[in-house]
Structure 1
Amino acid sequence: MSRSVVSLVLALLILGGSTEGSRGPKSTRLLQLYGELKSLVEDDWDDINDPRWHALGAFTGSNNLASPDEVILRTFAQFGDLLEATAPQRTTVEERAKILSGPLGNLFSWASADVQMGAVDALYQTFRRFQTRPAATTATEASRKAMSDLAETVLQKSPPSVPAALDRLHELATSVDGGGVFGNLPSVLLLDGGNGLCSIHQSPQQLIFNLYNLVTLTEIKGYAMMQFSWMLLKLYNKGNFTLEAELMRERVEARMDEKIQAARTAMGRASQELWVCDPSHHEENETFVQLTNVLQGHIENEVDLNPKGTCRESCGYYQYARVHDCYKDQFCKKQPKCNGRIFDCRFIDSDASVCLSKGGSTHRKYDWIEYENGRTLGRKGTCERGSTKVDSWWRWLFWHCSYCLCLCDEVGLKSDRYFSLHPSLARGVEESFPNSNRAVTGLRFVKVNRVIHLQVQDGEILPGGLINSSTVEWRPIKPFKVTDNNIRRDVDYHIITWEQRAVDLDDLKAPEGSILTGVQLRRIGAHLNLEILTTPFNFTTGKLAHRATSEWISNDNTPAAVTEPRKEIRMYSPDVPTKCPTRSSVVSNHDQYIRFTHSDIDRDVAQTTVPFIDAQPVVPDPHSLLTGAGLFYKGKRNCGGFISLKVMTYDYSKHLHMRDL
């Protein structure tokens, strides 16, 4: 067995089966593979230049010994298998197509770079087909002629030559004056408020890293083909090519180092945050979940808002009240009663036509209200149940019994307003699965039994900071009902009320060397607050540290802090989020908060609780380690918007270096 074959066998063992405590390169998996290719090439050239190696059976046709060209082809085939396991051709083609369909599709430098990568990939697939041929057919004169033709095509000066394609690709990737791919990306990704990334599902920094990988993968494929071609042509006595091979190695490594510097610079300017844009079509419990019947618009006559049944005050007097009666079974008898607390009553006009909602699955009380003074609340249309006349009246000529529009805060079976306080953990940090070595790869909100839960997706960590995609799954939540005997308020769940309806908006990041392994919601005073669990890990081996070293990270700041208090994000005249005509944009910043409230009175009769909760999965594609998570608010002016999740992808730039190779 040649030294190059031995080297590749060791590479398979090191890269595929590292254990805790093993030592290895701290650079990325792809750069490690280049190091293996470099060793393979050096060994093969040593063999080719060694007369004793040729004397063993070169071109003798021996049944026990392969010909030199077959031995070399076999070693490159084994390296190709290793490369394919890391970056399958189907995956790289799909990734390039996905990127072209996104914000970079109109960027000339990337479109041109894609052409060069496609040309190299096409030749590489031909090269791979030769590697899968049986040895008997490889040794034929026709096969040698075909391989020789391929080698000359790879090395020719005019397209589709590999050297020319790699030169052009490098220029497009790293050019500063010409607007190279890496240099342009951070500014391109900021266009349209970041919505340009909607179709890619990668953080800006992750996208740059994946583009770097695509370019570097192409360089490795091209370098492998060029070295094989020079070896083959020398074996076929068409030249020496030793000097060309050595000069190309130096040139390739210089270019790879330049690309590393360009990528690191661009990644340093790019955000690690990934969030999900609004979908083209909203569907409840798929793309969003909502709280229901919290601070909902409610019509009530003053006579029923006080225990004495008087009409001596105005609507504005009743900023905090309850419904005490239903005077003479008037309009109060025709609508659902507010069995909770009444807030913020106001007088709009004496008489109105009210369209009561059809009921059933809807959480609304009214579709629209039209007052005699011409003011209309909600979107007036046909009324399935027929509009109901609601008229205020005078009592004894002195007191006006006015119909008020108030807010009803009613906890009950018709109101979904609960958040689970249970932690959601990757399987690697749970007591029952102490050795599964998994990390969080995605987050989402789900509503089960009227309770909103945070749910994590996790996957197995591989050496080199990779995720085994075949193991990725959503961790099952532990559903419960707030009425269960063993479930306690403020311990198992948080309830949204008038006093406790604030949600903290924070960006939480793991300490250096740690990754995300869990999340949970908790209460800080009257606020709902996000907390993340982080665990140290070994990048080279992919092993998590012991769960005892895990740390919960949070932001404990409050609006009452003496220095830099947490600030509130306010919504103005918010409409139902799913009726907003344009996509939401990120509005909030770290260390802020937002309160749940009612939708706009004029637009929606205050029937909907806003903001909604974005239920879309926040998962990088391809899967990535995560180093943080956050809650933020996205919306538009006069739009209720969404409370959404974000994740922070792992910063691989610190592993982009060639000093280990």
Structure 2
Amino acid sequence: MQLLHTQKKWATLSVPLLLLLLLLIGGQPAPTAALIEDVLDIIHVVKEVTTGVLKAWEIVQSSPLAASIEFPLMREKQRKVLQRLKMVSQQIDETEAQHAQYVALAIESVNKFISHNVPLMTKMNDISDTMNRISSRYQQMQSYEAHKDKLEMSTLITFAEWTVSPNAHSVHHLMDRLHLTLLGNGNDEKLNSSSSNLLTQLASNYEVSADEMCSTRQSAQQFVYSLYTDVALTELKGYTMMEFSWMMLRVYGRGNYSQEAELMRRDYERRTERTLKLLKEVMRRADRIVWRCDPDKHVPQVTYDEVTRLLQGYIENEVDLNSDETCRETCAFYQSTRSEGCFKNLYCSRQPKCTGKLYGCQFVDSDMWVCPAPLSSTRRYEYIEYENGRVLGQRKNCVRGTTKVDSWWRYLLWHCSYCFCLCDEQGLKSDRFFNLRESVSDVKQNKVITGLRFLKKNRIFHLQIQEGQLLPRGAINESTLSWKPVDEYKIFDRNVAKGIDYHTLSYESRSIDLDDIMKTDDNSFVVTGVRFRVLGAHLNLEARLSEFDFKKGELIQPEVNSVWQSNDNTDVSGERRQKLLLYNADVPTRTVVTSLPLSKHNQYIDFVNSGMDKDAAQSTVPFLDIQDVVSQPPVPLAGIGIYYKGRPGYGGFLAPKIITYDFTPHVQLPKSIN
């Protein structure tokens, strides 16, 4: 949502519109002229309008009233008026072009989720038809400006009378119709409390249609504003046409029309005020979270990545699970142990040894066929098939050939069983590291964070930031957007320390907190930094929030006016975190349906092994979604978060989310300037 670009344009539109108004009146400003202010900042409008008035006086004071001038001078005045019209139309066109792709995404999204809602479709078709009629007449007016030196006086007069005439085909009527369809005919109190108006209905439908964010990449608040932008620009076209029409009629001495023009402006102000009240309320209620949907096809290292060999299924005989080489116990006895040897070089000599700790051993069956994974794989086995018919993993063609593995009896008393355990082993095939260094935007260049993504570099997972230069009124200079390079250190580098530069997941420390980090009581901060820390045994997200001047678009001494915000709750604190459980989960890329967010703020999840039966416990879940998480258009962020998405029965994904800046407080209602 390039919310502020639009509103900044609207602020500057007030100047040429005022010039048109002053030309219409013939040199004296209307004593109660209603100026439609910038919906974000009235101070900005006052400054722009004041400048415009000073410039306008130089033009209008040299122009006598139409009733006392000859035809050639009328033509000259017409030319000046049309020149001013060109200024207005250029600014409207520029604003429309600037928002075209985001409006198009919002409209496309609407057409998708209302396709089975006949009442909503009818209203949307009515609005589309009305807006097209206004835009068509606006284009005709622009063509008059392009050929201003060749037009007959009667052509302009006919167009002007057709535009403002009190009938069902006039622009004034079309604007009333558009307003009525969008808001309904209830009073303002009903407007704010009811969901009967179209804007509220569309916002509600968007929020419950999770797939729509996949295509728009707009938060619900951005979506609402994109729709409003389309409507507001159309109304601005209508307003411009009516001002132009009254002006032409006065230029050619057809009447004074001061009162008619004043009534028109009051109607426009009333409609705009009512629409903005609704917009403010709908935006206040709308969600501001942007998260990334699953891609059409999961591609490793492109759309997702994995923690590898954190806890992985491993076959070991009991005789090698103790230093005495005995088989006195059962597999379940060994809940935390190590591989102590390789008795008589049996199957243990034919597989890579687990050099770490072994947890949760269990007996499945005595004899089995094992299909080993390729040597280059992070898996140990493709599948394991037991004699009793149970298969761990997905049985398929075994490229390396299966190996028969049998338990045996010792001294006719002890059964030396093969156990299925979980191996926690650090090594070159185990990517289990998370960066703890902070990543901060270039605040010296007035840059803020606009997007996030996970990135694995040198086996270390980083939370990479997209940064962009902040502009006045919360806009972002899109030409400055870039992904800030991550620190390319390695865990074995000099001056790199575990627990300071990076965190190592392990059986005892493999939790990650799921939080939304933002200031809930102060809208004057935006995100300029991110980092992970270790809180207890949990990876915990922190966001650096910096104060900024909304009007100027400048960070306010970020070295001083910045704070690191986090959620300090732990699973043992007074306010307990809720744990999300994953049990016997399949590999998340195997699901045929898209993932949905399943976590809430103040929860956490553990990295665990995939299911025994579904995957022979060979993968670590959840996976990490490494797609870009950005909004269209980019905006400053009020907060960030980590969340879990998936489907029941599958391991799902961890991913970052962004919380767009709340523009609601800056939607100011228009006021009359006397």
Q: TM-score, normalised by structure 2?
A: 0.86
Equivalenced residues, count: 621
- Aligned-partner residue type, residue 599 of structure 1: S
The alpha carbon displacement at 1:237 in A equals 4.1
1:371 maps onto 2:386 in alignment:
yes
Alignment match of 1:630 (pick from 633, 641, 645): 641
Q: CA 1:147–1:336 in 2, change beyond 3 Å: closer, same or farther? A: farther
The alpha carbon displacement at 1:416 in A equals 0.8
1:414 maps onto 2:393 in alignment:
no
> Which has the higher mean CA deviation after the structures are superposed, 523-532 or 469-478?
469-478
Alignment match of 1:658 (pick from 641, 664, 669): 669
Q: CA 1:442–1:158 in 2, change beyond 3 Å: closer, same or farther? A: farther
Q: CA 1:58–1:550 in 2, change beyond 3 Å: closer, same or farther? A: farther
User: 1:53 maps to which residue?
Assistant: 63
Find the aligned partners of 1:372 and 1:659 in 2 and give their Cα distance.
79
Alpha-carbon contact 2:20-2:85 (below 8 Å) kept: no
> Which has the higher mean CA deviation after the structures are superposed, 106-115 or 327-336?
106-115
Q: CA 1:331–1:122 in 2, change beyond 3 Å: closer, same or farther? A: farther
Alignment match of 2:202 (pick from 163, 181, 185): 185
* Deviations, residues 499-530 of structure 1 (Å, cap 9, x unaligned): 11000111111333111111111111211011
The alpha carbon displacement at 1:616 in A equals 1.5
User: 2:235 maps to which residue?
Assistant: 219
Alignment match of 1:577 (pick from 588, 597, 609): 588
1:497 maps onto 2:509 in alignment:
no
User: 2:104 maps to which residue?
Assistant: 94
The alpha carbon displacement at 1:255 in A equals 0.6
- Aligned-partner residue type, residue 397 of structure 1: L
- Aligned-partner residue type, residue 447 of structure 2: R
User: Which consecutive unaligned segments of at least 5 residues does structure 1 have?
Assistant: 1-14, 17-26, 429-433
User: 1:544 maps to which residue?
Assistant: 555
SS in 2 for 1:464: helix
Taking the TM superposition and a 5 Å limit, the aligned residue runs for 1:633-652 are: 633-652=644-663
Find the aligned partners of 2:334 and 2:657 in 1 and give their Cα distance.
41
- Aligned-partner residue type, residue 594 of structure 1: I
Q: CA 1:37–1:211 in 2, change beyond 3 Å: closer, same or farther? A: farther
Find the aligned partners of 2:478 and 2:61 in 1 and give their Cα distance.
47
1:556 maps onto 2:568 in alignment:
yes
Alpha-carbon contact 2:361-2:420 (below 8 Å) kept: yes
Alpha-carbon contact 1:312-1:399 (below 8 Å) kept: yes
Find the aligned partners of 2:629 and 2:144 in 1 and give their Cα distance.
42
The alpha carbon displacement at 1:657 in A equals 1.8
The alpha carbon displacement at 1:31 in A equals 5.1
If asked which structure has higher relative contact order (CA below 8 Å, sep 6+), I would say 2
Alignment match of 1:121 (pick from 135, 138, 142): 135
Q: CA 1:152–1:460 in 2, change beyond 3 Å: closer, same or farther? A: farther
The alpha carbon displacement at 1:104 in A equals 5.0
User: 2:76 maps to which residue?
Assistant: 67
- Aligned-partner residue type, residue 476 of structure 1: P
Alpha-carbon contact 2:544-2:563 (below 8 Å) kept: yes
Find the aligned partners of 1:115 and 1:158 in 2 and give their Cα distance.
18
Alignment match of 1:592 (pick from 572, 578, 603): 603
SS in 2 for 1:246: helix
Find the aligned partners of 1:386 and 1:58 in 2 and give their Cα distance.
102
Alpha-carbon contact 1:28-1:656 (below 8 Å) kept: no
Find the aligned partners of 2:218 and 2:106 in 1 and give their Cα distance.
13
- Aligned-partner residue type, residue 411 of structure 1: Q
User: 1:441 maps to which residue?
Assistant: 450
User: 1:357 maps to which residue?
Assistant: 373
Find the aligned partners of 1:141 and 1:655 in 2 and give their Cα distance.
43
User: 1:348 maps to which residue?
Assistant: 364
User: 2:113 maps to which residue?
Assistant: 103
Alpha-carbon contact 1:345-1:407 (below 8 Å) kept: yes
Find the aligned partners of 2:625 and 2:328 in 1 and give their Cα distance.
45
Find the aligned partners of 1:463 and 1:437 in 2 and give their Cα distance.
11
SS in 1 for 2:26: helix
Find the aligned partners of 1:582 and 1:129 in 2 and give their Cα distance.
51
Q: CA 1:59–1:495 in 2, change beyond 3 Å: closer, same or farther? A: farther
User: 2:57 maps to which residue?
Assistant: none
- Aligned-partner residue type, residue 176 of structure 2: D
Q: CA 1:652–1:478 in 2, change beyond 3 Å: closer, same or farther? A: same
Q: CA 1:458–1:84 in 2, change beyond 3 Å: closer, same or farther? A: farther
Alpha-carbon contact 2:322-2:339 (below 8 Å) kept: yes
1:608 maps onto 2:619 in alignment:
yes
* Deviations, residues 564-613 of structure 1 (Å, cap 9, x unaligned): 21221111321111112222222111111100000111111111100011
User: 2:265 maps to which residue?
Assistant: 249
1:265 maps onto 2:275 in alignment:
no
Find the aligned partners of 2:636 and 2:597 in 1 and give their Cα distance.
23
Alpha-carbon contact 2:103-2:227 (below 8 Å) kept: no
SS in 2 for 1:199: helix
Alpha-carbon contact 2:452-2:464 (below 8 Å) kept: yes
Find the aligned partners of 2:158 and 2:406 in 1 and give their Cα distance.
93
User: Which consecutive unaligned segments of at least 5 residues does structure 2 have?
Assistant: 29-59, 185-190
User: 1:473 maps to which residue?
Assistant: 482
User: 1:23 maps to which residue?
Assistant: none
Find the aligned partners of 2:311 and 2:556 in 1 and give their Cα distance.
47
Alpha-carbon contact 2:25-2:258 (below 8 Å) kept: no
- Aligned-partner residue type, residue 184 of structure 1: Q
Find the aligned partners of 1:440 and 1:66 in 2 and give their Cα distance.
54
Alignment match of 2:297 (pick from 269, 281, 290): 281
* Deviations, residues 293-316 of structure 1 (Å, cap 9, x unaligned): 110111111111112222111111
The alpha carbon displacement at 1:231 in A equals 1.2
Find the aligned partners of 1:394 and 1:157 in 2 and give their Cα distance.
102
Alpha-carbon contact 2:16-2:87 (below 8 Å) kept: no
The alpha carbon displacement at 1:61 in A equals 5.4
> Which has the higher mean CA deviation after the structures are superposed, 89-98 or 299-308?
89-98
Find the aligned partners of 1:349 and 1:92 in 2 and give their Cα distance.
59
The alpha carbon displacement at 1:327 in A equals 2.0
Find the aligned partners of 1:326 and 1:385 in 2 and give their Cα distance.
22
1:140 maps onto 2:150 in alignment:
yes
1:396 maps onto 2:405 in alignment:
no
- Aligned-partner residue type, residue 473 of structure 1: S
1:535 maps onto 2:546 in alignment:
yes
Find the aligned partners of 1:37 and 1:270 in 2 and give their Cα distance.
34
Find the aligned partners of 1:58 and 1:601 in 2 and give their Cα distance.
94
- Aligned-partner residue type, residue 232 of structure 1: M
User: 1:326 maps to which residue?
Assistant: 342
> Which has the higher mean CA deviation after the structures are superposed, 72-81 or 344-353?
72-81
User: 2:23 maps to which residue?
Assistant: 44
1:163 maps onto 2:172 in alignment:
yes
Q: CA 1:441–1:92 in 2, change beyond 3 Å: closer, same or farther? A: closer
Find the aligned partners of 1:96 and 1:165 in 2 and give their Cα distance.
23
- Aligned-partner residue type, residue 634 of structure 1: K
SS in 1 for 2:63: helix
Alpha-carbon contact 2:106-2:226 (below 8 Å) kept: no
Taking the TM superposition and a 5 Å limit, the aligned residue runs for 1:449-460 are: 449-460=458-469
Find the aligned partners of 1:602 and 1:577 in 2 and give their Cα distance.
15
Find the aligned partners of 1:408 and 1:349 in 2 and give their Cα distance.
19
Alpha-carbon contact 1:102-1:200 (below 8 Å) kept: no
Alpha-carbon contact 2:369-2:385 (below 8 Å) kept: yes
Find the aligned partners of 1:494 and 1:302 in 2 and give their Cα distance.
33
User: 1:81 maps to which residue?
Assistant: 90
User: 2:11 maps to which residue?
Assistant: 32
Alpha-carbon contact 2:308-2:378 (below 8 Å) kept: yes
The alpha carbon displacement at 1:470 in A equals 2.1
Alpha-carbon contact 1:535-1:551 (below 8 Å) kept: yes
Q: CA 1:147–1:477 in 2, change beyond 3 Å: closer, same or farther? A: farther
- Aligned-partner residue type, residue 507 of structure 2: W
- Aligned-partner residue type, residue 36 of structure 1: V
The alpha carbon displacement at 1:241 in A equals 3.4
